Amino acid sequence: MAVVQPAGGRAIIQTTLNGALITIPPRRNWFIILFLGAWTGGWTFGGGMALRNLFEPGMPLFARGFLLFWLCGWAVALWFVGRTLYLQFFGQELISATRDLLTITRPGRWTTRPASYAINEVRRLRTAPSSGTAGFFRPQGFPGHGQGALVFDHGMRSVTFASGIDEPEARHILDFLRDQGLINEANLA
């Protein structure tokens, strides 16, 4: 009988000159990747045919207007699918911690922007219990779903981050940040 080996962590933790940088790679969902990849092929063909027909001579003005309207929706849908596929492969989350700032850069539905928080305003930094909503069509760690293994209070709002990792790895990251002196008991209480 084979003994199951303990799982390793997914996050890449690096010590920098003034703190730490934690990179969490995306958790891929191969069903979504394959489905959207095939869908993109058909969608691109359909858009190409619509573009070709848009410039056909003799097309009624109403039909041309509707086709132009449809192509705008086509382009938006293609952008969303392209962004989703991009995030499945390259949508990593970056967590940078210094003695002054906690910066979280996670991919969003529209763009990727960092959010920086003064470390002295970070309260109750803790692991988040698993929500149990992961599944075939709604995978855990899928960008844009607001899930995460770490959470803290910032004013009257909770900030959730570190999606794509499990609770034991989140505890390891908290221990690492505490051992490096980047967070203290005031941040945890």
Label residue 188 by pLDDT band (50, 70, 90): confident
Please tell me whether residues 18 and 69 are part of one structural domain: no
Q: 6 in a domain, yes or no?
A: no
Interhelix angle 61-90/30-54, nearest 10 degrees: 150
Q: Are residues 99 and 177 in the same domain?
A: yes
Residue 79: the pLDDT is 92
Give how many domains the chain has, as a whole number.
2
CATH code: domain of residue 133: 2.30.29
Q: In 3D, which of 90, 92, 55, 88 has the Cα closest to residue 71? A: 55
Q: Where are the beta strands (DSSP E) in 2-100?
A: 12-16, 19-24, 93-98
Residue that wins the pLDDT comparison between 145 and 178: 178
**pTM of the full structure:** 0.77
Q: What is the pLDDT of residue 71?
A: 94
- Please report the sign of the dihedral spanned by the C-alpha atoms of residue 113, residue 117, residue 119, residue 122: negative
Beta bridge partners of 107: 112
Please give the pLDDT value at position 127: 92
Last residue of a domain, one of 48, 68, 89: 89
Q: Do both 134 and 159 map to the same domain? A: yes
Are 104 and 174 in the same domain? yes
Give yes or no: residues 48 and 68 share one domain.
yes
**135 located within any domain:** yes
Q: Which amino acid is at 175?
A: D
For the stretch 45-97, pLDDT in tens is 999 999 998 888 888 889 899 999 999 999 999 999 999 999 899 889 999 99
Same domain as 165, residue 75: no
Whether residues 69 and 101 fall in one domain: no
Least confident of 23-27, 44-48, 182-186: 182-186
Residues 109 and 81 in one domain: no
Amino acid at position 120, single letter: N
* Structure token pair of residue 10: 């997914």
Query: Looking at the structure, do residues 103 and 82 belong to the same domain, yes or no?
Result: no
How far apart, in whole angstroms, are the C-alpha atoms of residue 162 and residue 97? Answer: 13
Give yes or no: residues 131 and 154 share one domain: yes
| Rounded Cα–Cα distance for residues 86 and 79 (Å) | 10
Question: Residues 120, 180: one domain?
Answer: yes
111-162 residue pLDDT tens: 788 999 999 999 999 998 765 545 544 444 444 455 789 999 999 999 999 9
| 1 within domain boundaries | no
Q: Which domain holds residue 135?
A: 12-25+95-188
Residue 71 and residue 35: Cα distance in Å, rounded? 22
- 3 belongs to a structural domain: no
Is residue 114 located within the same domain as residue 158? yes
Average pLDDT estimate for 32-37: 94
4 domain residue, yes or no: no
Q: Give the model's pLDDT for residue 129.
A: 77
